[in-house]
Structure 1
């Protein structure tokens, strides 16, 4: 059986390839390039990552190739990212990248062009097959679980995908990499948005969207400072506002944006009522099974990655999903993704379109 491994140049995909090779599969490593730009220090990180892929593949003795999806990524993911920021929302491009690039175009490339039987990646997630249905399950290492970012996959994708490290803890993955002398064994995990990485976000975004400074105001309309452009701020944000601790002396938080007036609206104190919401409506909802559990059901939800599960009531409407929180939630942000779970099973996810304040 031939398995194509999507190799990023990181330790996780390196160990995924290693494990599959040890199991006796015919393994082919493919490095996917999605972004063609230098970082803040003038270095093309994709070149460095590919060099690591080459070293790992040489060590475990598998062939490797590279494929360029930079244009497709720009058209399908980055353009959406910019449009959402223009609307004052905070998108999650990593979820969209998985849906449109990794598990659509890249999956098709792996199966049809390379001739693989499966595509494997280094994601921390698990797949099982129960009652004639594929299920997406949380990884063994809940701290590293990435099902949040995979919530837009469906039965078609899961049938052709493998997650070889989903049953391992991160320290076990690093141990296997070191034990087998893989060049990525001690490589730092990547952080930040996929195409921005660890570079200065404000500087990066300003290259594509013109900044429009405006006033920072409180709920009463009192001017508290100046913002550099609404796109640079997200709901619940505390840092980088440049507002002193006047009044109660407590920190200030972003609660909303007025696009017409170009005003950033803030409140003082992390327990302020305006920071909390009691429900949301999500659009573009994807059900991994192909359909919801019922028209109304209880489950848990995450409104951002790494957030502890929150108990919710879900009502499925014709063109959207209504999610009511058992407890008020802080800084739920339009444009982000709500992902639903039943115990360890990821049910799917959608884009947060609106929130209802308490």
Structure 2
């Protein structure tokens, strides 16, 4: 049995003392090791496999069939029970419908953010509680703790492994959700997770990480969107002088900062290679009313740089907004270094963020997430 091995990483996890925790098992190495470590810490572990997409559930893009086989194998190896649940209706109504609305409006949403708040930590949590669970757990790289300052609130933390940190995608979680959640991988590096899985005899130790849209999988994205949002061709123009450079298939399929897939080439001014005549074009703006996609030439064009931005649909982990005069850091997209910023004003469900250094390709629909050191404060949607 895998639990015969002792893994010192488990010592940082809250002891279970026989209490029940329901672990979201995806069939990957992260959730499998999360379940393993929780069992070692004395939790009664129950696995739950969520099926949330049914429109074209085939092996080419959506691996749920193989993932379920892996989950059942892992559960048998760990000696735990597994329940399979179907949240396809909830996913389509709460996540995918909003995903399509945002793209249809010319914005670029992040479905993983909404998927976490509405499915993995709402529908999943609600169902787990009906099974008598004290807590739920996932294989996310993030942390949770009670505020050491004594406020009694629960804080969301960055993971120790900065290269895998997923707190950005979890910033909409509230106090009720976080107070019931365990993140067993909070202080463990990914390379150690795979070593633990291998030492425990879990066959998923070398399984490739899943990518692509939450629960839908990795697939040709433009082709996928075209099934739901038909093409609406329009002009591609240079922002600086309104020259028509080409045509696009629809605003839906383009995002701010995009370089590839424009099919308009580079500048040819006859001044030689040193002049940068083939400098790349980037999407800089969208005129939704006229269906015009505006582009600029050069990565550091001023139109791609912003010192301030507005966010709405605010969601604060603590249940209230941070102090507006303090300096924080923020990410305006995942895989971005933290950038120093301040909240200049909060007006109901909207606020303004002012950055010390200009931010590149700020994109409406993406999330701007604020941090105070390792603590994730929350954030909102860029407008």
TM range (shorter): over 0.9
* CA distance in 2: counterparts of 1:42 and 1:252, whole angstroms: 33
**1:168 equivalenced with 2:185 (yes/no):** no
**1:250 equivalenced with 2:268 (yes/no):** no
Aligned equivalent of 2:73: 55
**1:322 equivalenced with 2:352 (yes/no):** yes
**Max Rg structure:** 2
CA spacing shift, 1:291–1:217, aligned 2, 3 Å = same
Q: Is the 8 A contact 1:38 1:45 kept in 2?
A: no
Unaligned runs of 5+ in 1: 354-358
Structure 2 counterpart SS, 1:184: helix
Q: Is the 8 A contact 1:230 1:257 kept in 2?
A: yes
> Which residues of 2 match residues 89-104 of structure 1 at below 5 A?
89-104=107-122
> Which residues of 2 match residues 10-49 of structure 1 at below 5 A?
10-38=28-56, 42=60, 44-49=62-67
Aligned equivalent of 1:152: 172
Q: Is the 8 A contact 1:33 1:69 kept in 2?
A: yes
* CA distance in 2: counterparts of 1:335 and 1:194, whole angstroms: 16
Structure 1 counterpart SS, 2:205: coil
**1:200 equivalenced with 2:220 (yes/no):** yes
Aligned equivalent of 1:134: 154
* CA distance in 2: counterparts of 1:197 and 1:64, whole angstroms: 22
Unaligned runs of 5+ in 2: 1-18, 269-276
Q: Is the 8 A contact 1:217 1:263 kept in 2?
A: yes
Aligned equivalent of 1:212: 232
Structure 2 counterpart SS, 1:224: strand
**1:118 equivalenced with 2:135 (yes/no):** yes
Q: TM-score, normalised by structure 2?
A: 0.90
Q: List structure 1 segments (4+ residues) > 6 angstroms apart after TM superposition.
A: none
The alpha-carbon deviation at position 37 of structure 1 amounts to 3.6
The alpha-carbon deviation at position 175 of structure 1 amounts to 0.5
Aligned equivalent of 2:382: 352
Of the structure 1 ranges 311-320 and 154-163, higher mean CA displacement relative to structure 2 is found in 311-320
Q: Is the 8 A contact 2:62 2:217 kept in 1?
A: no
* CA distance in 2: counterparts of 1:296 and 1:351, whole angstroms: 20
Aligned residue pairs, count: 352
Aligned equivalent of 2:99: 81
Measured on the aligned residues, the alpha-carbon RMSD in Å equals 1.3
**1:65 equivalenced with 2:83 (yes/no):** yes
Q: Is the 8 A contact 1:253 1:266 kept in 2?
A: yes
* CA distance in 2: counterparts of 1:22 and 1:186, whole angstroms: 22
Of the structure 1 ranges 31-40 and 226-235, higher mean CA displacement relative to structure 2 is found in 31-40
* CA distance in 2: counterparts of 1:293 and 1:349, whole angstroms: 10
